[in-house]
Structure 1
Amino acid sequence: MEDNNKPLEDLVEEVKKDEEVNNKEVNSNGETETNETSEKAEEALDENNEDKESELEAMRKLKDENKRLNNELEALKDRLLRVSAEYDNYRRRTTKEKEGIYSDACSDVLKEMVPVLDNLERAMTVDGNLDDFKKGIEMTIKQFKTAFEKLGVEEIDASGKFDPNFHQAVMHIEDENYGENEIAEVFQKGYKRGEKIIRYTIVKVAN
């Protein structure tokens, strides 16, 4: 009832004061909420920046590692090409050397065989009796043996016990005149050059 008796001017003044108080409360709450939102946004932005920096650092490391691996790969490729070229040169060189060795060996053999052939051809053109012809053959055989000696070729010994490293048995007999596993007869002579067997001696073995 008292409010109804207040002058109109006083009522208007009170309403204005109430509005000012309400406005202040609203502004205070609004500023507080705005500050909190701003702080959260700044924190999120900082975290986002840190994540981006971490990603950039990881990308830089990957890029550096990729560059290092590419450099190593190029170095390996270059090394492989050099090794391949060296191997090709070595293969060609050894092939040429082998061909040269083979050619020299053939030449050495032929050089020793040609004189023997010459003597055989001359023997065929000479008129004479059987003894002269036989003597010529003996001389040719001797010349063959001399040529073999120069080439390092030896006749395999076929006396005594049978040795499968040098002899090939094609026949076995029982004979009290020979010892056990003793060579009784040579069918074909064998030859060797150093440790290399050119031809095994073909023999008959007793007991």
Structure 2
Amino acid sequence: MNTEEKNPQTEAGTDPQTDAEPEASQETEKAEKKDKGGFGGKKAKAEKEAMQKKLEEAEEALKKQKDQLLRTAAEYDNYRKRTEREKAAIYSDATAAAVLEFLPVADNLERALEQQECSVEDLRKGVEMVQTQLKKALEKLGVSEMGAAGEAFNPELHNAVSHIDDENAAENVVAQVYQKGYKIGDKVVRHATVVVAN
């Protein structure tokens, strides 16, 4: 007679040690799933939402900056165009004001030429009157004459065309003026053409 006692678990073909291992691995898998879907999953989701929010805020800020840049560029373009128009208008107005001062001179010259019979003396007086009128018009525009005999020669104001020796004149002075110069304030409009002595 066989005295070996049969283990009911052995009979069933199950080993307690091998049965425990699948149960442990199943528990581990459950724990990992729980970890992924549980607290760890919530944390990742919260981080993702925070990053998404930051991205949206950055995109909104970028959009505002772009809009502001476009507005600034448009404003600058409008300012540039307006400035160009104003400069053109100022130049046009200044030219018109200058021409207006010379129109009476032109009118008097026309009247003088319309005279059929006049003496040389009358003609001379008429030309002198027109010259006086012209000088007044230039003065109103801030234009002053420069270049007169006896002035010290200044290359910034005078254009010397020749040099002469003159015992009666001081050294490096204007002896003769071929053509008067003109300036507005400190700006030279035309240099005086002169002859320099010594």
TM over 0.5: yes
| Corresponding residue for residue 74 of structure 2 | 85
| Corresponding residue for residue 8 of structure 2 | 20
- The answer to whether 1:137 aligns with 2:140 is no
Residues in 1 aligned to 2:50 and 2:155: alpha-carbon distance in whole angstroms: 72
Is the radius of gyration larger for structure 1 or structure 2? 1
- The answer to whether 1:194 aligns with 2:191 is no
Q: Which amino acid aligns with 1:183?
A: V
The answer to whether the 8 Å contact 2:147/2:177 transfers is no
| Corresponding residue for residue 58 of structure 2 | 69
Q: Which amino acid aligns with 2:92?
A: S
Q: How far apart are 1:189 and its partner, in Å? A: 0.7
Residues in 2 aligned to 1:120 and 1:21: alpha-carbon distance in whole angstroms: 141
The answer to whether the 8 Å contact 2:9/2:16 transfers is no
Instruction: Give the helix-richer structure, 1 or 2.
Output: 1
Q: Which amino acid aligns with 2:87?
A: K
- Number of aligned positions between the proteins: 195
TM-score (norm: length of structure 2): 0.80
The answer to whether the 8 Å contact 2:147/2:158 transfers is no
The answer to whether the 8 Å contact 2:147/2:194 transfers is no
Q: How far apart are 1:47 and its partner, in Å? A: 5.9
TM-score (norm: length of structure 1): 0.77
The range that moved more, 148-157 or 60-69, is 60-69
The answer to whether the 8 Å contact 2:183/2:189 transfers is yes
The answer to whether the 8 Å contact 2:9/2:15 transfers is no
CA 1:52–1:195: 2 relative to 1, 3 Å: farther
State the identity %. Answer: 38
Q: How far apart are 1:195 and its partner, in Å? A: 2.5
| Corresponding residue for residue 22 of structure 2 | 34
- Structure 2: gaps (5+ residues): none
Q: How far apart are 1:108 and its partner, in Å? A: 1.5
Residues in 2 aligned to 1:175 and 1:52: alpha-carbon distance in whole angstroms: 109
Residues in 2 aligned to 1:144 and 1:31: alpha-carbon distance in whole angstroms: 126
CA 1:56–1:109: 2 relative to 1, 3 Å: same
Residues in 1 aligned to 2:51 and 2:192: alpha-carbon distance in whole angstroms: 75
- Which of residues 26, 41, 49 in structure 2 aligns to 1:60? 49
Residues in 1 aligned to 2:159 and 2:69: alpha-carbon distance in whole angstroms: 51
- Structure 1: gaps (5+ residues): 1-5
Residues in 2 aligned to 1:185 and 1:23: alpha-carbon distance in whole angstroms: 145
Q: How far apart are 1:21 and its partner, in Å? A: 6.6
Aligned-CA RMSD value: 2.9
Q: How far apart are 1:152 and its partner, in Å? A: 1.2
CA 1:188–1:55: 2 relative to 1, 3 Å: farther
Residues in 1 aligned to 2:143 and 2:73: alpha-carbon distance in whole angstroms: 41
| Corresponding residue for residue 124 of structure 1 | 113
Q: How far apart are 1:119 and its partner, in Å? A: 1.1
* Corresponding residue SS for 1:18: coil
